[in-house]
Amino acid sequence: MIVVKVGGSAGIDYDAVCADLAQRWKAGEKLILVHGGSGETNRVAEALGHPPRFVTSPSGYTSRFTDRQTLEIFEMVYCGKMNKGIVERLQRLGVNAVGLSGLDGRIFEGRHKDSVRIVEDGKTKILRGDHTGTVEKVNTGLIDLLLAGGYLPVLTPPASSYEGVAINVDGDRAAAALAVALKADALLLLSNVPGLLRAFPDESSLIREIPAADVESYLEFAQDRMKKKVLGAAEAVQGGVKRVIFGDARAGEPISAALGGAGTVVS
């Protein structure tokens, strides 16, 4: 089993990802796709007059502050436009894909964090009314049913809290939890960069290999949202996934290239 996570940043070629995925699926490989949608969510949120608010935690992690209205816009884009756009591409390519959020069948479950500590203008503050959390549990029952029926699952945040409330969760870490739960052979984290760069944005500074035991020490090279990918990679390898690859989804055959060793390989 291979878990492929494709991000939501500008420049990602979803046609290329879906074509590669379809070819491998038809050849008999078991794959699951997890996707993001942050770029499009930002555009739609602006257009609806509720622009995104990104906050930074005291430890330096950036996240989207998700009030109820933001959550609804997030669902419109992730579960609607992005998810159905990918499912449609796969259906056109002859793959019977099924798109679901983490709420459906409680595939992704975790604790709801209602308040977030942030640093703003040098001061630490607490913001309430946040609909965020982290995936702590993956319920694979529905996924097993789909795979056994020959359907390719296409999954996206949000997740469900233990109380059944929708929560915005990081897609990379959700994909990592899924890869662990499914005992996947590999987790691919595909985005609009060649991999983890030692000196972002210099693409010639690509880090080619990271020993699994050292992955957390590479957090120092990752800024903002890339940190979540490194953290997800650490969680996946600690959970028994043999290979995590940060790969490029901007062109070509992104899945085959990553599995062939392009990008940053954590193993």
- Using rule CB under 6 A, residue 62 touches ligand ADP: no
Contact between 168 and ligand ADP per CB under 6 A = no
Pick one of 104, 162, 222, 252: the residue that binds ligand ADP (CB under 6 A): 222
Binder among 226, 241, 258, 265 for ligand ADP (CB under 6 A): 226
Least Å from the CB of residue 128 to ligand ADP: 25
> Which range, of 106-114, 140-148, 154-162, 185-193, touches ligand ADP by CB under 6 A?
185-193
Residue 263 touching ligand ADP (CB under 6 A): no
Does the footprint of ligand ADP cover residue 9 (CB under 6 A)? yes
Q: How far is the CB of 223 from ligand ADP (least distance, A)?
A: 4
Taking CB under 6 A as the binding criterion, the range among 57-65, 79-87, 102-110, 186-194 that sits at the site for ligand ADP is 186-194
**Residue 40: closest CA among 95, 3, 84, 1:** 84
Q: Is 53 flagged in the annotation as binding? A: no
Interface with ligand ADP includes 196 (CB under 6 A)? yes
Residue 221 near ligand ADP by CB under 6 A: yes
Pick 146 or 248: Cβ nearer ligand ADP: 248
- Contacting positions for ligand ADP (CB under 6 A): 7-9, 36, 38, 191-193, 196-197, 200, 221-226
Which residues fall in the annotated binding site for substrate?
64, 168
